[in-house]
Structure 1
Amino acid sequence: MNLVLASQSASRREMLAAAGLTFEVAAAAIDERAVEAGLAGAAPQEIALALAEAKALAVSRDRPGDLVLGSDSLVVCGGRRFDKPASREDAARHLEWFSGRTIELHSAAALTRTGAVVWRGAEVARLTVRPLSGSFIESYLDAEWPAVAACVGVFRIEARGVQLFSAIDGDHFTVLGMPLLLVLDALRESGELPA
């Protein structure tokens, strides 16, 4: 199997490598906002799946025969959807909004081959954010910015981001940004990995 990860996400690369998979990386060049524009009113999970598919398809068209994995995550909290923060100030506003609330992290993945989707799956994790003081938010961003600029939810759970939460309900890999257990099941079911 020649597996290609259509993402530059360090956590997604680390997950696949730790699981023992051999893969290449080819970042997808898509306009995520344009994809989202055609999905007005769609459920968060469907948006995450559409973005994962778009990334995989963009790379798949140039890699005939290769199995391409696309993935995407998005956060919903208090009826609002959040993308990656545009600036440190934007990150602080996100954290202020999350304070004392539960965020839903939707992580999706899709596998494509020669420009066609062959599998898709998604999971959701619910993360309860403890009440955050303004001074905590500032010290947190002093330590984590700009690393969390590329993170929806403004956290890396494997780093100081764990300090944001009082409870987590969901799969660890989903929280990291990809429903890895679903992906591995799909690879086994398709014969790409031994059962």
Structure 2
Amino acid sequence: MPALQLYLASGSPRRKELLAQLGYTFERVVVDVEECHQPGETSAEYVQRLSQDKALAGVKETGGQIPVLGSDTIVVVDDEILEKPEDFADAKRMLELLSGREHQVMTAVTLATATRRETCLVTTNVWFKTLSEKEIESYWQSGEPQDKAGSYGIQGIGGKFIERIDGSYYAVVGLPLLETDIMVQDFLSL
């Protein structure tokens, strides 16, 4: 088995799949980071802080010699951060906010060791078609939106709501491949 190159501080199956696509040898490390927006913190500051907190928690767990990748994704519309829905009413509210308009998906990636840390933020603009109440209810019943920021997954059934995107598709899924690969290559080349 090839030598371990990095740790992934994420329980997300999507991030695990995307990192595997890049071909690195990695293991997951379980971290518990509170995701709580601080007063006065911009959306960009918030998502970057969360990715850093996850990576640094992973460094603490693993000893910090091998790079730890932490990442977080949020959906933003009208400066409101849409995280994972609490229930159907919350998901419906979010999907109605996104319906027929543009929003931003921000994904931050942090690589860290005990002596080094680097963070990258990727913002993608996403346009939704107009959704009917029936579409929203049916989508909730599929189970897909229940663990997704903004109550939708572009890589699944929710992809049928997307008119277009401007930016990184993979960042919307949860891990921007290009930027992540550049960061990992940079860390591993030292």
Output the TM-score relative to the length of structure 2.
Answer: 0.91
**CA RMSD, Structure 1 to Structure 2 (Å):** 1.6
Aligned 1:1-195 pairs, distance under 5 A: 1-33=4-36, 36-37=37-38, 40-64=39-63, 65-114=65-114, 116-143=115-142, 145=143, 147-192=144-189
Q: Which runs of 5+ in 2 are unaligned?
A: none
Cα distance in 2 between the residues matched to 1:108 and 1:184: 14
Cα distance in 2 between the residues matched to 1:62 and 1:80: 33
Contact 1:105–1:125 under 8 Å retained in 2: yes
Contact 1:4–1:24 under 8 Å retained in 2: yes
SS in 1 for 2:170: helix
Q: Deviations over 1:51-94 (max 9, x none)?
A: 00001111111211121000001111123221110112211111
SS in 1 for 2:163: strand
| Percent identical residues | 31
With over 3 angstroms needed to count, the CA separation of the structure-2 counterparts of 1:180 and 1:117, relative to structure 1, is farther
Q: Which runs of 4+ in 1 moved over 6 A?
A: none
Contact 2:43–2:79 under 8 Å retained in 1: no
Contact 2:145–2:153 under 8 Å retained in 1: yes
Equivalenced residue count is: 186
Counterpart AA for 2:77: C
Output the TM-score relative to the length of structure 1.
Answer: 0.89
- State the shift of 1:41 in Å: 2.3
With over 3 angstroms needed to count, the CA separation of the structure-2 counterparts of 1:191 and 1:4, relative to structure 1, is closer
Moved more, 3-12 or 150-159: 150-159
- State the shift of 1:179 in Å: 2.3
- State the shift of 1:27 in Å: 2.2
Cα distance in 2 between the residues matched to 1:132 and 1:192: 47
Moved more, 64-73 or 134-143: 134-143
Q: Which runs of 5+ in 1 are unaligned?
A: none
Q: Deviations over 1:95-147 (max 9, x none)?
A: 11111121100000101112x5421101101111111111111112222x2x3
SS in 2 for 1:62: helix
Cα distance in 1 between the residues matched to 2:11 and 2:28: 7
